Amino acid sequence: MTDPSDPDPAPPPAARRNGRDTGRRLRGAIAHRLGVAILSGEYKPGERIPGEVAFAAELDVSRSAFREAIQVLTAKGLVESRPKAGTLVLPRDRWNLLDPDVLGWAFTGAPDIDFIRSLFELRAIVEPGAAALAAARRDRADLKAMRDALADMSRHSLGTEAGRAADRAFHAAILAATRNDALVVLSASIGAAVGWTTQFKQRLRALPRNPIPDHRRVYDAIAAGDGAGASEAMRLLVEQALADTAAAVERVRGEGA
């Protein structure tokens, strides 16, 4: 059931050419590189990116590979190209910030604290609502999936990959119980992004809290069919996660600059 293609933390594929290979295919590497550059503000909205021929030559790749990378960025709303005008970075509100890749790029560089806050606010809005829906629609199989995930969470700490996977599984089970595709997709994106921040917190050894009781309360309310209770319990859970992350970010600021 584990999907080996997604969360690969770059095993040593031995960068194929001159060291410029961030993973996956060549065009993927280029897209990744440009995406990170844009997300980190190296290319600002309105600015022009060097012309195809020049840039492709500079990166030492063919024009077609470079163009395919640009298509990817275009598909995600980051840039737009027109003949004679070149390709320029679109204003931030045209970016598909909820695209999993874009989120990943956003968290590759130094994560913007305001953006993290935005994500948690969104999560604080969506997940309680989802929990309420789940309380109304869950069946026995859904509840079992949640229980299993919960059990895994108590076996492994959030410091381990297994623990984080269990956490994700718990939330995914709730989402699945809503019978709502849009919610599933959205929360999958947010969940992945939040996963980055969890890793982030973990890196700082700033996770003193035991997450089990909070999760347990959510489960109990859903199992009881108590929508309002599930919503409220989930609200508390997300709130505390935000507080923990904010604290971690604060510490980084203190250490860093």
Partner DNA sequence: GCACGCTAGTTGTCAGACTAATAGAGCCAA
Partner DNA sequence: TTGGCTCTATTAGTCTGACAACTAGCGTGC
Helix and strand numbers (H, E) in the chain are 10, 3
Q: How far is the CB of 73 from DNA (least distance, A)?
A: 11
The SS3 call for residue 120 is: helix
At residue 226, the 3 state secondary structure works out as: coil
| Residues 59, 65, 69: CA angle, nearest 5 degrees | 90
Q: Which range of residues in 48-56, 121-129, 131-139, 206-214 is near DNA by CB under 7 A?
A: 48-56
Query: Closest approach of Cβ 49 to DNA, in Å?
Result: 7
Per-residue binding letters, 233-252, with DNA (x by CB under 7 A): --------------------
H or E, element range at 49: strand 48-49
Residue type, 157: S
Which residues contact a second copy (rule: CB under 8 A)?
A: 27, 64, 67-68, 71-72, 74-77, 92-93, 95-101, 114-115, 117-119, 121-122, 124-126, 129-130, 133, 178, 180-186, 188-189
Nearest to 105 by CA among 180, 173, 28, 181: 28
Site string for DNA, 75-114 (x = CB under 7 A): ------xxxxxxx---------------------------
Asked if 31 interacts with DNA (CB under 7 A), we say no
| Gap between the Cα atoms of 245 and 251, Å rounded | 10
User: Which of 40, 52, 154, 252 is close enough to bind DNA by CB under 7 A?
Assistant: 52
Q: Applying CB under 7 A, which part among 60-68, 134-142, 183-191, 202-210 lies near DNA?
A: 60-68
Quote the Cα angle for 6-10-12, to 5°: 140
Bridge-partner residues for 79, per DSSP?
A: 89
139 binds, among DNA, a second copy, none (CB under 5 to 8 A by kind): none
* Residue 118 contact, options DNA, a second copy, none, Cβ 5-8 Å cut-off depending on partner type: a second copy
Q: Which is nearest to 102 in space by CA: 73, 70, 124?
A: 73
Question: In a 10 Å sphere around its CB, with 0-12 CB exposed, 13-18 middle and 19+ buried, how is residue 100 labelled?
Answer: middle
Of DNA, a second copy, none, which one does residue 186 interact with (CB within 5 to 8 Å by kind)? a second copy
Q: Which listed option, a second copy, DNA, none, makes contact with residue 100 (CB within 5 to 8 Å by class)? A: a second copy
Whole-number Å distance between alpha carbons of 144 and 16? 45
Please state the closest distance from residue 82 (CB atom) to a second copy, in A. Answer: 10
